[in-house]
Structures are given as structure tokens and as C-alpha cells.
Amino acid sequence: KAGVTQTPRYLIKTRGQQVTLSCSPISGHRSVSWYQQTPGQGLQFLFEYFSETQRNKGNFPGRFSGRQFSNSRSEMNVSTLELGDSALYLCASRTIDGAQYFGPGTRLLVL
């Protein structure tokens, strides 16, 4: 089975712009979660989607949003980018027993 894929792998944006990141889960997985990884804050949970519904949300401002499509692919959007949004954004899809499998991540740099 193919693993979790994320596109693009690298992005450079400027402050005030918006960005959309994409994640395709492992085939058959219906749950997709997003995480932000920074040197200062470590790994933090953003949100989780299951069957096109947001089931859980972390403590991030409303500029961070997401959605999931009927084929389980998910997108994450960040509007009005700030310098502090520079991070590695990881997507994970979940098996029935709770284990989450991560994609390679999208590295976002905000200038």
C-alpha cells in the first residue's frame, strides 16, 4: 500500500499571503489529522477529520482551517500568514487500532 502523501513538500510564502496544503491518506483510511512541528513548540495537534467532518481541534487561531473530501483526501489552509507559521506541517492517517501513520510533511517558510 502506498503511504501518506503530502504536497507540496516545500513552500515559501510572504507574510499576509495564504497557503493550502494537501494530504492523501493511506488507501482505506478515513481519518486524517494535521500537526504543526516547530523547534520551539514541538509537535502540536491542529485538527482531525473523519468522513468529511472535523472531529477534534487543537488550540490554534481561526486562520488555520481544513477540510476533507469524500475520497478522504484532506486540505489545510492558513490565511494571513505570519512569520511564526513557518514550520513543518505533518499529516497522518489512522488505522482502526489507533496508530497514526505520517506523511513526509510540507515545510513552509514564511518571509
Partner 1 sequence: AQSVTQLDSHVSVSEGTPVLLRCNYSSSYSPSLFWYVQHPNKGLQLLLKYTSAATLVKGINGFEAEFKKSETSFHLTKPSAHMSDAAEYFCVVTFSGGYNKLIFGAGTRLAVHP
Residues that bind partner 1 (CB under 8 A): 4, 31, 33, 35, 42-45, 48, 50, 55-56, 58, 90, 92, 94, 97-105
- Residue (14 or 99) nearer to partner 1, CB: 99
Q: Are the CB atoms for 97 and 30 separated by under 8 Å?
A: no
How near is the Cβ of 42 to partner 1 at its closest, in Å? 5
Residue 25's SS3 state is coil
Q: Are the CB atoms for 48 and 31 separated by under 8 Å?
A: yes
- Residue (15 or 55) nearer to partner 1, CB: 55
How near is the Cβ of 110 to partner 1 at its closest, in Å? 19
Cβ contacts of residue 2 below 8 Å, gap of 6+? 26, 27
